[in-house]
């Protein structure tokens, strides 16, 4: 592969990675919006939403890790290209400048961040469910006080 093709592939993998993160954020936002709009407590719905979200998060993390691994392989291939090939006459050292901006991602840090966000999302879902349960109990308490 030529240097220009490797650079293009690197940025294609970067775009794919960004889409996985965007999808992840949109799903979390929609899930939290859904959870906050619900009025009545329902443990079955909470359990189903939690399980489905965990399945999604697991697959999303796998896709992110695969894409990061692919991007790192492309980055290594870019770094293996001789500098003479990246800095051809008339390019003014573009290869040096571009290579300096290509960063290697921390796979462990990415995994930790994703899992931490997953835990916080599930905690938020159940905090909202607990709030609905408490509100329903308080409402029943008020109704029993009025009837007595």
pLDDT tens digits along 30-40: 999 999 998 88
pTM of the entire predicted model: 0.83
Structural domain count of the chain = 1
Whole-angstrom Cα distance, residue 5 to residue 83? Answer: 15
**103: buried, middle or exposed (CB in 10 Å: 19+, 13-18, 0-12)?**
exposed
pLDDT the model gives residue 114: 98
Domain holding 66, by residue range, is 3-147
**pLDDT, tens only, 64-89:** 999 999 999 999 999 888 876 665 55
CA nearest to 49, candidates 129, 108, 113, 109: 129
Phi–psi pair at 93, nearest 5 degrees: 70, 30
Name which of 52, 63, 61 is nearest 30 in CA terms: 52
Neighbouring C-alpha atoms within 13 Å toward the C-beta of 45: 14
Confidence of residue 41 (pLDDT cuts 50, 70, 90): confident
The pLDDT, as a whole number, for residue 97 is 80
């Amino acid at each position: 592969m030529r240097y220009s093709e490797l650079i293009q592939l690197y940025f294609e993998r970067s775009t794919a990675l960004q889409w996985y993160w965007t999808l992840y954020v949109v799903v979390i936002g929609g899930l939290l919006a859904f959870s906050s709009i619900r009025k009545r407590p329902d443990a079955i719905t909470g359990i189903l939403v939690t399980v489905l979200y965990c399945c999604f998060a697991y697959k999303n993390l796998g896709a992110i890790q695969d894409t990061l691994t692919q991007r790192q392989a492309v980055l290594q291939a870019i770094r293996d290209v001789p500098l003479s090939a990246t800095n051809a006459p008339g390019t003014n050292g573009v290869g040096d400048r571009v290579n300096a901006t290509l960063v290697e991602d921390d796979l462990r840090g990415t995994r930790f961040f994703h899992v931490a966000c997953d835990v916080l999302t599930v905690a938020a879902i159940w905090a909202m469910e607990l709030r609905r349960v408490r509100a329903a109990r308080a409402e029943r308490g008020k109704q029993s006080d009025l009837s007595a």
